[in-house]
Chain A
Amino acid sequence: MARNLSNDALNKITERLGNEPVTIIEVDWIDGDAPLSYADRTVGSIPGRILEVGSLDNVINVSGNADSQQLAVTLDDSDGSIKTILDSHDVHQRDVRVFQYFDGLDLSDKFLLFRGKISSPVVWSEGDRTVSLDIISQIEDAEIGFSPEEGQFDSIPEDLIGRPWPMCFGTCVHVEGVPLNEPAAGTLASGVGIIDFLLPHRMFAINRILAYINEQIGDWLDANGFWSVSEAAASGDEELKKQLEGFMANKDRFEQKKSEVLNVLTDQARTIVANFGTGDGWSTYSVTAQFTTFRVFGGEEFPRGTITLDINGAKFTGSFLGETDEFSVQSSEHPRRGEPLVTPRADGTNFPGGPFGFNRFVPNGNVTGDTAGYFFADSGAQVRVATVEPQRFVASITPGTVKRVKAFIQSAGRRFLIDVPEDFYTVTTEQYGSVTATMVTLNDALSKRTDLSWDDQVYITFQGTVGPNTVDVMEYLIQQNTDFDTDATSFNSVRARLANYPSHFALTDRKQILQALEEIAFQARCATVLKDNTFHLRYLPAEPTPADTITESDIEVGTFELQHTTTEDLVTKLIARWRATGAQEEDNQVILRHNVRKYGTKEREFDFYIYNKLDMVLKSATFWLIRYSNTWKKARFSTPLHKLNLETFDAVTLDFNSPYVADSDVLALVEKADYNSDSRSIDFECWTPVKAGQMEPYDFAYPADVSQELRFPTPVEEEEEFDGGTGIGRDATGALPIRYDLRRGVRVEYDGNPDPFGFEAAKRSTSDRGDPKPSDAGDQDPGKPVVGEAVTYDERLPGIDTPTFENTGFYQIAEPTLIDIATTKIIDSRDPGGDSNSITTFSTFFAEISGSRLKMATDATVVDADDRDVQGTFDFKYDADTEQFGAGTAFLQDD
């Protein structure tokens, strides 16, 4: 990644004597115009108007995986040409290129020192007639992703403003879908009720019984020659009086029942908000609503116009008044309406012979049927919209496929994430201008379902077409969000390196692109370098190829210093936070300790959000633990300009005759390369893989390609107890209860090698010692997250309920009914009010019961079936020969 110099330029910078460097600056003052060039002395047509060029500071950031450059320049503006530009154009953030040229070269051999943008302060001085400005490599860059306020939408709900839509890479497990709408929900501000709609029918049934009783009493009065009940009561006939009291007791009892039902209905009517009316074809019952409106806390969020609300299963149709939370009710529906309830009715028997040919109904005094119960929702009850409310969720704005949709249900005080049945939702792709979003639309809000206690929020497993190789993800982000190029060579090289460490994640923050790239690169153990509008990538665990060699002949006398990484930057307790799924309430952690005994506990947290598998997190975290928990030697020196080909992130071989750094040559990494054009020197600061107090490079400084047999921490480190922490439990052992992390949703199963990096085999997956094998050798592809088959709550249909088995016992032999057929008085209930001769006994027809037979008397009266007036006894004649009766009249006629 060293600077790209032409051969002539390379040869020129190596000339030791008499070289004349010239700094040339190209400024794109005006968008679309040709750039203007300035030099620190006139070169051809380029005017010598650079009065002052500060030190070009090029330095790697603290985390060591990105760099920045900065330069201050003062230009002569004695002719006022730059002031003229400043008067009519905002030059901030305009591109500037800083070139190095050497006298004697062709102008085309000038080479780029750095490309940046004009940054404040931009100062024009009237007294000096100068313009001074800062140039910074890359500052205020672009936000990645999308949130609705960035578009041109008519109206955006407040909670969606600034809420990014997910960008899914690889197979993202349980990404929290971004709800574009939400079901209306409110709280009842006052109690509302609905009458038990079956009570009027019960009242109608009682009325029918009462009508029959009244009819009976009338007939009885007629039969006994009374005009009124009072007359009958005063008749003095004790027998009749008892009969009348029986009739009146029945009547009072049902009048009382009717009154009770009416009282209940009246009480129930006190809280209803809609008129009630019903009838049975003969009678009607109606009640005027006591209230016509009720308030709903949160009602302002409900749709306007006529809607139906669901309150604890009851339906209230009406509309909210204006923009208020007051709901005006037009009609209501009891929650049990529609259930197979039996409408109350009077039980009894229909007999033929009623007036006008109708059957005659004789009730038995029972009212059969159900009650629906009074519905009442007290204030505080939840209010929902009864009609369907399709819910739309954004799954991802990166391309891919929705594999699963899940949601939480509540049960027994715990939450369970279960699959949402596929027929509950549809997946679509929506185009919002340049944004393509994959959407999941639920047919209705899950929380309105009554089968399970669902949450509305859904979690989506999304298989993106971008990723899971982290380099693919970074390349996609660069292409989507910047005008910069990617260096194919370095990207391809790192892509191969990261093949075994896939990243499956969703970006749910709108980060700056450079910040996002730095974070992703850090987690993947990489470094991004932006040079000349091109991103380069470096795989940090791999030993870099040296770009040059530094010897004593390159270093200005008196400038070499041996330094160390700072104590402030030490991290001996590294906490890596990560998430297996997007549905986790809390992050998982990997906690690693190293060199605590040497440096004390210096804690720092890192968010490894690109990985959803412990193995990858542990791999990366261990690499950074090694880098951060040790003090490394750093070489600081200045060279003349012949090392202008080097820049940050270049590797150089420090080849000294004396063991300044180590006993052997050392492959160092340029962390800082400040070019001072005034003093014609470059100030270098190089990180070396040599630990403080040692004279040999550390094996795991560049661990990727070391032998997989090497173990971390090293035996020496273990012997000195630099591994792990220093707490009382550093040697604790034993067995802890097994927890099923997979079921708890904090682990994701992969379909590849179950132990791709050998952690389980080494029993080190959760130890604070870290990855025992920092080498990449022997690592295998873990595969991708397992999606599996959907298992929904109704996967197995229930069988039938166990019926109620009645305890019938043995069949009982009926006891004979004992009556005296000679004295037991009977009366025809069809005509109880007939003449007084209607009362009789069975003996007027039957003679006796003997020989298991009921025997008829020959003096029984027979009635003609067609003409009831024709009555008389039958002329029986007994035939002794046949021992049978015959018709004596017929015998006579035959005779």
Chain B
Amino acid sequence: MIELAAPHPAIQTVTLLPNPQFGDGESETCEVATKRAMDGTLYTYVKSKAGRRRLTLPLNLSRMKALELRAFIQSYFASRVRLTDHLDQVWVGHFTCNPFEFSTPKRAGGWPGGEMQTIQLEFQGVKQ
């Protein structure tokens, strides 16, 4: 389960989301640039991004949950958000996907609203 709470640190709203689908990701945001001179001399430069990491969270949501997430995003997309992932790791950072695209790939019998919606959240933050 994923918990989104915002604005951090004066939390006002918390929303719970299901675990991400298979294929979620966690990556570095820092960069390393390498330069090679004519005589082979190597130069490297880094961009650390202050320990920020990028989380990619593909989610399948019911119609009702999707509307709840949409309302949360609209309220707090510019705010710092605390994210507790399905591994119970706590992150503080910002959503970086823009726009937030919800898609409705199929009907979902028995789900609230009768439809399944998907969204891939991208989040950059620092692990607490």
Contact = CB atoms under 8 A, between A and B. Distances in A.
Interface of A: 16-21, 40-42, 48, 78-79, 103, 128-129, 551-557, 560, 640-642, 679-681
Contacts of A553: 37-39, 41
Interface stretch (B12-20, B43-51, B66-74, B102-110): B43-51
B49 A41 contact: yes
B50 A48 contact: yes
A129 B78 contact: yes
Contacts of B36: 556-557
Given A78-B78, A680-B33, A552 B39 contact: yes
A20 B45 contact: yes
A783 to B, nearest CB: 54
B6 to A, nearest CB: 13
26 contacts: A16-B43, A16-B44, A17-B42, A17-B43, A18-B45, A19-B44, A20-B46, A20-B48, A21-B45, A40-B47, A78-B78, A78-B94, A103-B48, A552-B38, A553-B37, A554-B37, A556-B37, A556-B38, A557-B37, A557-B40, A560-B38, A640-B43, A641-B43, A642-B43, A679-B33, A680-B33
A641 B45 contact: yes
Contacts of B38: 552-553, 555-557, 560
A680 B35 contact: yes
Interface in B18-35: 33, 35
B55 to A, nearest CB: 19
A369 B38 CA distance: 111
Given A680-B33, A681-B35, A41 B47 contact: yes
A159 to B, nearest CB: 61
A554 B42 CA distance: 10
A556 B35 contact: yes
Central interface residue in B38, B46, B94, by most chain A CB within 10 Å:
B38
Contact of A17 (B44, B47, B49): B44
A103 B50 CA distance: 11
A797 to B, nearest CB: 86
Given A41-B49, A42-B50, A48-B50, A18 B37 contact: no
A531 to B, nearest CB: 25
A231 B113 CA distance: 157
Contact of B46 (A18, A48, A129): A18
B46 A640 contact: no
Nearest to B32: A18
A641 B45 CA distance: 9
A41 B51 CA distance: 11
Nearest to B37: A553
Nearest to B80: A78
A676 to B, nearest CB: 11
A104 to B, nearest CB: 11
B89 to A, nearest CB: 22
Contacts of A48: 50
Given A557-B37, A557-B38, A560-B38, A41 B48 contact: yes
Contacts of B44: 16-19
A19 B44 CA distance: 7
Given A551-B39, A555-B38, 12 more contacts: A16-B42, A18-B46, A19-B45, A20-B45, A20-B48, A21-B45, A40-B47, A103-B48, A553-B41, A554-B37, A560-B38, A680-B35
Nearest to A681: B35
B101 to A, nearest CB: 15
Interface in B67-94: 78, 94
A556 B35 CA distance: 6
B41 A41 contact: no
A45 to B, nearest CB: 13
A554 B39 CA distance: 8
Nearest to B78: A78
A78 B33 CA distance: 28
Contacts of A129: 78
Given A41-B48, A41-B49, A41-B50, A555 B43 contact: no
Q: Which 4 A-B pairs have the closest CB atoms?
A: A552-B38, A640-B43, A680-B45, A552-B39
A641 B34 CA distance: 11
A20 B38 CA distance: 22
Nearest to A660: B38
A79 B94 CA distance: 13
A19 B45 CA distance: 5
A18 B46 CA distance: 6
B46 A19 contact: yes
Nearest to A20: B46
A59 to B, nearest CB: 22
Nearest to B36: A557
B29 to A, nearest CB: 10
A21 B38 CA distance: 22
Contacts of B45: 18-21, 640-641, 680
Residue of B37, B40, B78, B94 ringed by the most chain A CB atoms within 10 A:
B37
A20 B47 contact: yes
A42 B51 CA distance: 11
A771 to B, nearest CB: 41
A17 B46 CA distance: 9
A556 B41 CA distance: 9
A124 to B, nearest CB: 14
B75 to A, nearest CB: 14
B52 to A, nearest CB: 9
A173 B125 CA distance: 73
With a 10 A CB-CB cut-off, give which of B35, B39, B42, B48 has the most chain A CB atoms: B35
Nearest to A656: B38
Nearest to B33: A680
A42 to B, nearest CB: 6
A675 to B, nearest CB: 13
Contacts of A20: 45-48
A642 B35 CA distance: 11
A554 B38 CA distance: 8
B42 to A, nearest CB: 7
B9 to A, nearest CB: 16
Contacts of A642: 43
Interface string B103-122: 00000000000000000000
A681 B46 CA distance: 13
A167 B46 CA distance: 55
A16 B33 contact: no
A641 B43 CA distance: 9
Nearest to A22: B47
B5 to A, nearest CB: 19
A640 B49 CA distance: 20
A853 B67 CA distance: 165
B112 to A, nearest CB: 32
Contacts of A78: 78, 94
A552 B37 contact: yes
Nearest to A15: B43
Contacts of A555: 37-38
A497 to B, nearest CB: 37
Nearest to B43: A640
Contacts of B94: 78
A824 B94 CA distance: 153
A557 B98 CA distance: 38
A16 B41 contact: yes
Nearest to B41: A553
A18 B44 CA distance: 5
Nearest to A679: B33
A679 B44 CA distance: 11
B87 to A, nearest CB: 26
Contacts of B50: 41-42, 48
A169 B44 CA distance: 54
Nearest to B45: A680
Contacts of A41: 47-50
Contacts of A641: 43, 45
Nearest to B77: A78
B111 to A, nearest CB: 32
Nearest to B49: A41
Given A17-B42, A17-B43, A640 B35 contact: yes
A128 B47 CA distance: 23
